[in-house]
């Protein structure tokens, strides 16, 4: 008996068992806390998705308010879109199970979720939370635990692009220079080469650049400054397209053509006026190769301005039917768009959109579009809108005069192979519709 009492065998095992009791409790409590962490991550994902979805819906409304030609087609509210995406991430208010794609399931007894959405003028705050019973944490005095997550998405306007490619790419060939201090360049193309730099490192672009697609280059590091995978930029002039597409020569009382010395009938610069007379008709004011323009001019055939021509004035040039415009050689062209252009009745419903419009070309993609080669003395002060065909700029083109100017191009696609200076600061004074690059990002 004496030896038995003095025996130490099993004492370590006994101590280990005693120590394991609190250790197991701590491990179990850690496991419960770990489950809270996992729930917290899921809640944050749901909050982020809800805030971003609500932000994109808010962006739609903001664009519709500032651009009447870009109505918001989403009929659901910001609150709906935010809660829909929260539901797609398995967080719903009680009874909210009808959202498309919802992953909300029946919750365990004592567990509840809450989703709230607050909308400001330019941001959306989404808060999701899950309240559930505490188990081992009851030893710490907790009967329930609330796990919340919050995210804030903000709609931001990055810039107003001077150049917007509606469908195709923006290409840079050779070693052009594109500079701007007031506006950017944007492409709605989703192609991998939505911004396409072809040439060597001599290409220099200092304008902010955004594209819904990708960027490609054959040399240099130009793509480093292009923001890819950006959202679509709404076309502020798309309301013109339907009215312009229905325009025919029957909208005028006489043909806008002239007879040259060889008896050939060719399109000629003639202006439309609402104050027609018995001798002039609605097409009047034939302008020689060198002269000042004043009014709204309509063409339905090929137009070429080249050589040493000098054309100045305040005008709107509308190309319809089979019309094309090519500018080559070294002409001096100094044109400013009209702030209140006169238009025929067929265009009266869209006359407001024609404010600040300098060139409109409705020709389809199969045509040569608008090709412009200018000198350093030339400028186009207004919006060049060519929605269905490419615009190509060669040589030197700038809007440095007048200052401030409105050098704005909205086209199917745009190619630069010469030096171009951009400026949109004068567009508001002309009444020009301006595209806006807006995006949504999480700020909290």
Q: Which residues contact 57 (CB under 8 A, 6 or more apart)?
A: 74, 76, 77, 78, 81, 82
pLDDT value at position 152? 93
Handedness of CA 346, 348, 351, 353 (dihedral sign): negative
- Contact between residue 270 and residue 298 where contact means Cβ atoms under 8 Å apart: yes
What pLDDT is stored for residue 89 in this prediction?
Answer: 92
For 77, the token pair is 């509210």
pLDDT of residue 423: 76
Q: Supply the pLDDT for residue 80.
A: 93
Q: Are the CB atoms for 424 and 183 separated by under 8 Å?
A: yes
How much is the pLDDT for 84? 93
pLDDT at 276: 46
Give the model confidence (pLDDT) of 262-293 as tens digits.
444 454 444 554 544 433 333 433 344 455 77
The parts of the chain modelled with pLDDT lower than 50 are 20, 254-265, 267-270, 273, 275-289, 398-400
Tokens representing 131?
A: 């309240």
Tell me the pairing of strands 144-159 and 177-180: unpaired
**What are the residues facing 325 on neighbouring strands?**
303, 370
User: How far, rounded to the nearest angstrom, does the alpha carbon of residue 252 sit from its chain's CA centroid?
Assistant: 37
DSSP letter (8 states) at residue 428:
H
Q: Please give the model's pTM, rounded to 2 decimal places.
A: 0.69
In the chain, count of helices (H) and strands (E)?
5, 28
pLDDT tens for residues 412-435? 998 887 777 777 788 888 888 888
DSSP 241: H
Say if residues 353 and 241 touch (Cβ distance below 8 Å): no
Residue 68: per-residue pLDDT: 57
């Amino acid at each position: 008996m004496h030896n038995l009492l003095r025996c130490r065998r099993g004492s370590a095992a006994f101590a280990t068992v005693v120590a394991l009791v609190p250790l197991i409790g701590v491990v179990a409590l850690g496991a419960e806390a770990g489950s809270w962490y996992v729930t917290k991550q899921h809640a944050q994902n749901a909050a982020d998705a809800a805030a971003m979805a609500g932000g994109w819906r808010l962006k739609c409304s903001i664009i519709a308010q500032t651009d009447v030609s870009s109505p918001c087609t989403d009929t659901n509210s910001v609150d709906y879109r935010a809660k829909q995406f929260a539901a797609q991430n398995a967080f719903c208010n009680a009874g909210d199970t009808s959202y498309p794609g919802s992953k909300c399931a029946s919750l365990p007894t004592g567990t509840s979720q809450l989703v709230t959405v607050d909308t400001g003028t330019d941001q959306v705050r989404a808060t999701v939370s899950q309240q559930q019973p505490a188990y081992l944490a009851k030893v710490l005095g907790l009967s329930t635990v609330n796990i919340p997550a919050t995210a804030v998405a903000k709609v931001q306007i990055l810039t107003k692009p001077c150049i917007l490619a509606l469908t195709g790419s923006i290409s840079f060939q050779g070693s052009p220079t594109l500079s701007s201090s007031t506006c950017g360049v944007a492409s709605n193309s989703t192609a991998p080469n939505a911004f396409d730099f072809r040439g060597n490192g001599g290409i220099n672009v200092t304008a902010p650049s955004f594209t819904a697609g990708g960027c490609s280059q054959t040399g240099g590091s130009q793509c480093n400054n292009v923001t890819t995978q950006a959202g679509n930029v709404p076309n502020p002039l798309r309301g013109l397209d339907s009215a312009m597409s229905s325009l025919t020569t029957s909208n005028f009382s006489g043909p806008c053509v002239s007879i040259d010395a060889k008896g050939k009938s060719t399109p000629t610069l003639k202006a439309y006026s609402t104050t027609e007379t018995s001798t002039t008709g609605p097409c009047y004011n034939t302008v020689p190769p060198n002269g000042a323009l004043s009014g709204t001019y309509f063409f339905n055939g090929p137009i070429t301005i080249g050589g040493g021509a000098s054309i100045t004035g305040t005008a709107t040039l509308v190309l319809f039917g089979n019309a094309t415009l090519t500018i080559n050689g070294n002409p001096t062209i100094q044109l400013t768009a009209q702030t209140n252009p006169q238009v025929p009745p067929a265009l009266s419903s869209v006359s407001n959109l024609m404010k600040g419009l300098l060139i409109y070309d409705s020709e389809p993609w199969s045509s040569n579009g608008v090709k412009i080669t200018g000198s350093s003395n030339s400028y186009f002060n207004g919006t060049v809108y060519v929605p269905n065909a490419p615009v190509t700029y060669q040589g030197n083109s700038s809007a440095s005069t007048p200052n401030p100017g409105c050098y704005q191009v909205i086209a199917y696609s745009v190619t630069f192979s010469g030096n171009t200076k951009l400026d949109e600061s004068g567009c508001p004074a002309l009444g020009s519709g301006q595209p806006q690059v807006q995006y949504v990002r999480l700020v909290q």
